[in-house]
Amino acid sequence: MNKAKIGVIGTGSISDIYLSSPKKFLNYEITGVADLNINRAEEQAAKHQISFAGTVSDLLAKDDIDLIVNLTIPAAHAEVSMMALQAGKHVYSEKPLAISCSEGLKVMEKAKQLGLCLGTAPDTFLGAGLQTCRYLLDQGVIGEPVGASAFMLGRGPESWHPNPEFFYKLGAGPLFDLGPYYLTALISLLGPVKKAVSMNKITVPEREITSKPLAGKKIKVEVPTYVSSLLQFGNGVNATFMTSFDVWETKLPKIEIYGTKGTLILPDPNGFDGPVYYMNQETDEWEEAPLISTLSGNCRGIGLADMIAGIEERRPFLCSGELGLHVLEVMEKIIDSSDQERFLELETRCDKPEPLAGFQSLFVDLA
């Protein structure tokens, strides 16, 4: 198997997961990294035994790079992805695809214009937990879905992240930072969203960092930190969706889907594992469903591996740019609907991703 040559732009805290992922997957290797902070890029290259570290322009000029993984901050996603596409590279971007739907659409159009492929995280919906949920829904275990609820509620990252300021800037906040995991999970199970309405607020306009090394620094909050929305999916399912950095603690579930014959409890969509529970007219109590695949633990990179296989096999890949763009528009409509105090129709559409198949052939070792 010929391995795709990957370049990574952005060597912040999430880069370790991606830079170590070739140990799990057969069809790609990382041969270069780049960052505005050259010292950090060099440190990560040395740590992960990667041969090249340099500037973004130097990395994009390398002829042996097939695809760029964009791990920059959200505000830079669109610009860096455009640069990579213009350099003739396929792109797999961390979420969100961009900080506005108009920017994301330009990236999509550029990729199509140049005959290149665009993929986007998250890929956690390909894990054993959420793929088991897909199987149960397809088997009719809870009947026809009629409703859903999703809650991402917690305290902000200023107590633990070494540089949390960007979480409160445009393109982040609880909705844009963690919302893509929840929305991607829901869309992968229920299909695209038709309309959205929301009530949002900035609860504390200025936050103080308590984590090191920036303890004591003040953050001006620019995005809503309490978001309470309703979504209607194209299949008629209505969902409650809440995200917040203002909640001290909660016992609410991550995601539940309600059907005509039962209820399905989903695992944390920010991971690949279970557990998955269901109850229906044939059970007396909650049943834990056996997971249908071995994609558990930290399998980040499976979406990238599937994208590379899709390019090679000339087939659709599951973490598509269309899916990422639709998730982005849902989040944008959630923000805009609160400002405009009305329901907003979605303009983008995406296909509900097919179940993941044949993933075993992508792995070095599933143990």
Contact 305, 30 (CB under 8 A): no
Q: 35-58: per-residue pLDDT in tens?
A: 999 999 999 999 999 999 999 999
Domain end residue (candidates: 288, 321, 337): 288
Give the model's pLDDT for residue 363: 66
Question: Domain of 242: which CATH number?
Answer: 3.30.360.10
- Asked whether residue 130 falls in the same domain as residue 96, the answer is no
Q: 224-271: per-residue pLDDT in tens?
A: 999 999 999 999 999 999 999 999 999 999 999 999 999 999 999 999
- Asked whether residue 150 falls in the same domain as residue 223, the answer is yes
pLDDT at 100 over 80: yes
Would you place residue 203 in the very low, low, confident or very high pLDDT band (cuts 50, 70, 90)?
very high
pLDDT at 366 over 50: no
Residue 263, classified by CB atoms within 10 Å of its CB into exposed (0-12), middle (13-18) or buried (19+), is: middle
Question: Domain of 60: which CATH number?
Answer: 3.40.50.720
- Asked whether residue 132 falls in the same domain as residue 279, the answer is yes
Give the model's pLDDT for residue 362: 73
- Asked whether residue 16 falls in the same domain as residue 161, the answer is no
Domain end residue (candidates: 71, 87, 120): 120
Contact 224, 179 (CB under 8 A): no
Give the model's pLDDT for residue 358: 74
Contact 225, 247 (CB under 8 A): no
- Asked whether residue 86 falls in the same domain as residue 132, the answer is no
Cα angle 97, 162, 8 (rounded to 5 degrees) comes to 40
Q: What one-letter code names the amino acid at 132?
A: T
Give the model's pLDDT for residue 365: 54
- Asked whether residue 211 falls in the same domain as residue 275, the answer is yes
Q: What is the mean pLDDT of residues 20-28?
A: 92
Q: How far is residue 93's CA from residue 339's CA, in Å, rounded to a whole number?
A: 28
- Asked whether residue 106 falls in the same domain as residue 130, the answer is no
Residue 60, classified by CB atoms within 10 Å of its CB into exposed (0-12), middle (13-18) or buried (19+), is: buried
The answer to whether residue 158 sits within a structural domain is yes
Give alpha helix (H) positions in 30-149: 38-47, 56-60, 77-86, 101-114, 128-138
Give the model's pLDDT for residue 1: 60
- Asked whether residue 100 falls in the same domain as residue 156, the answer is no
Q: How far is residue 55's CA from residue 148's CA, in Å, rounded to a whole number?
A: 45
The answer to whether residue 18 sits within a structural domain is yes
Would you place residue 178 in the very low, low, confident or very high pLDDT band (cuts 50, 70, 90)?
very high
pLDDT at 364 over 80: no
Give the model's pLDDT for residue 38: 95
Give the model's pLDDT for residue 247: 97
Q: What percent of the chain has pLDDT over 70?
A: 98
The answer to whether residue 308 sits within a structural domain is no
Q: How far is residue 211's CA from residue 183's CA, in Å, rounded to a whole number?
A: 29
The answer to whether residue 312 sits within a structural domain is no
- Hey, what are 306's tokens? 């599937």
The answer to whether residue 338 sits within a structural domain is no
- Asked whether residue 152 falls in the same domain as residue 261, the answer is yes
Contact 324, 95 (CB under 8 A): yes
Domain of 28?
A: 4-120
Contact 111, 88 (CB under 8 A): no
The answer to whether residue 349 sits within a structural domain is no
Average pLDDT in the chain: 95
With tokens 């992240």, the residue in question is 161
- Asked whether residue 90 falls in the same domain as residue 174, the answer is no
The answer to whether residue 81 sits within a structural domain is yes
How many Cα atoms within 13 Å fall on the side-chain side of residue 41? 22
Domain end residue (candidates: 80, 95, 120): 120
Give the model's pLDDT for residue 244: 98
Would you place residue 367 in the very low, low, confident or very high pLDDT band (cuts 50, 70, 90)?
very low
- Asked whether residue 163 falls in the same domain as residue 202, the answer is yes
What 8-state DSSP symbol labels residue 246?
B
CA distances from 270 to 70, 128, 227, 254, 278 (A): 19, 12, 18, 10, 20
Which of 65-89 are b and which e, b meaning 16 or more Cβ less than 10 Å from the residue's Cβ? Answer: bbbbbbbbbbebbbebbbbbbebeb
User: Number of structural domains, the chain?
Assistant: 2
Q: What percent of the chain has pLDDT over 90?
A: 90
Task: Point out the least confidently predicted range of 65-74, 103-112, 142-151, 291-300.
Answer: 291-300
Give the model's pLDDT for residue 171: 87
The answer to whether residue 197 sits within a structural domain is yes
- Asked whether residue 274 falls in the same domain as residue 214, the answer is yes
Give the model's pLDDT for residue 294: 87
Give the model's pLDDT for residue 284: 83
